[in-house]
Amino acid sequence: MSSTHMAAHESSSSSISPSRPRRIILAVTGSVASIKLPLLVDRMRDAYKGAVELKIVTTRHAMHFFDPNNVGGVQVLTDADEWNMWKRMSDPVLHIELRNWADAIVIAPLDANTLAKLASGLSDNLLTCILRAWDTAKPVIVCPAMNTVMWGHPFTRKHLGVCTGELGYAVIEPVVKTLACGDTGVGAMAEVGFIAGVVRKMVPPIKSGEDGEAKVPHYEEHTVPAPAGPL
């Protein structure tokens, strides 16, 4: 992966205030690892000691793996919400509203299909529209999860190269486990506690008395190897 880095940033559109919590979008795509979303919500709240506001953006297929009523009261937004919100020219556009609201977006899990869409610039659902309209000064952290052979596919390497190199996304790499399909190898999403810890380091809490600038540490590499879990 290319050795680019994420610079300190400030988005005028996100109305950063020294006194408010971090605002983070948790996005889930059509991988069985979406079943871990409720636990990820808990770990994110723990990592920020409650000083975080979360919104969930889900693809249609990800909803097969989790219950929107079981995510700790966090608002779950779907493609239908995008279209239901807009009725006339003066109405807000949801993917722009979310882009302006958030300090960062975390896609956990990122499946192979959405990875290909992001690398190609497609914008055919709420999540990909947010990313196509994203303020590139804000962090995007992706956590791939897919079958071992899919992870090793040449297209996966190509698409990750675009995301880390041209788009500046940070990647938390998958780990070796026995997958839901029965295969054993690299492809399982990193543990949610590890993901939450990395997000907090890259998007630290806003301290009281700061000027509101959302500072992000310097990272030499955009890929973050995750510790392997038990088989």
The amino acid that residue 205 corresponds to is P
The amino acid that residue 17 corresponds to is S
Beta strand spans in the chain (E): 22-28, 52-58, 75-77, 104-110, 140-144, 170-172, 175-178, 184-188, 223-224
The two tokens of residue 12 are 């005028």
The two tokens of residue 218 are 């310097």
The amino acid that residue 194 corresponds to is F
**Helix segments in the chain, DSSP class H:** 37-47, 79-85, 94-101, 112-120, 126-132, 148-151, 154-165, 192-202
In the block, tokens 């309209």 appear at 133
Of the candidates 129, 143, 163, 181, the residue annotated as catalytic is: 181
Active site residue 181: yes
**Cβ atoms of 85 and 91 closer than 8 Å:** yes
How far apart CA 67 and CA 61 sit, in angstroms, is 12
The residues assigned a catalytic role are 181
